[in-house]
Amino acid sequence: MKLEQSPFVVSVADLLRRPGHRRELELRGSVGQLSSAGTVVPVEEQVALTAGLEAIPEGVVADGHVSAPWRADCRRCLQEVTGRVDVEFRELFEREPKEGETYALGHEQVDLGPLIREALLLALPLAPLCEAGCQGICPTCGADLNEGPCGCPPAGRDPRWTALDDLHLS
Residue 132 is given by DSSP the state T
Instruction: Indicate whether 149 belongs to any domain.
Output: no
| CA-to-CA dists, residue 67 to 46, 56, 74, 145, angstroms | 9, 26, 21, 33
pTM of the prediction?
Answer: 0.79
Provide the number of structural domains found in the chain: 1
Instruction: Indicate whether 168 belongs to any domain.
Output: no
Q: Residue 65 in contact with residue 86, Cβ under 8 Å?
A: yes
Instruction: Indicate whether 169 belongs to any domain.
Output: no
User: Domain residues for 33?
Assistant: 9-134
Q: Residue 70 in contact with residue 125, Cβ under 8 Å?
A: yes
Instruction: Indicate whether 3 belongs to any domain.
Output: no
Instruction: Indicate whether 158 belongs to any domain.
Output: no
- pLDDT by residue for the chain (170 residues), tens only, comes to 444 568 899 999 999 999 899 999 999 999 888 999 899 999 899 999 999 999 999 999 999 999 999 999 999 999 999 999 999 999 999 988 898 889 999 889 999 999 999 999 999 999 999 999 999 999 889 999 999 998 888 777 788 888 888 888 87
Kindly report the length of the chain: 170
Instruction: Indicate whether 57 belongs to any domain.
Output: yes
Q: Residue 58 in contact with residue 68, Cβ under 8 Å?
A: no
Instruction: Indicate whether 107 belongs to any domain.
Output: yes
- In angstroms, the first-to-last Cα distance of the chain is 69
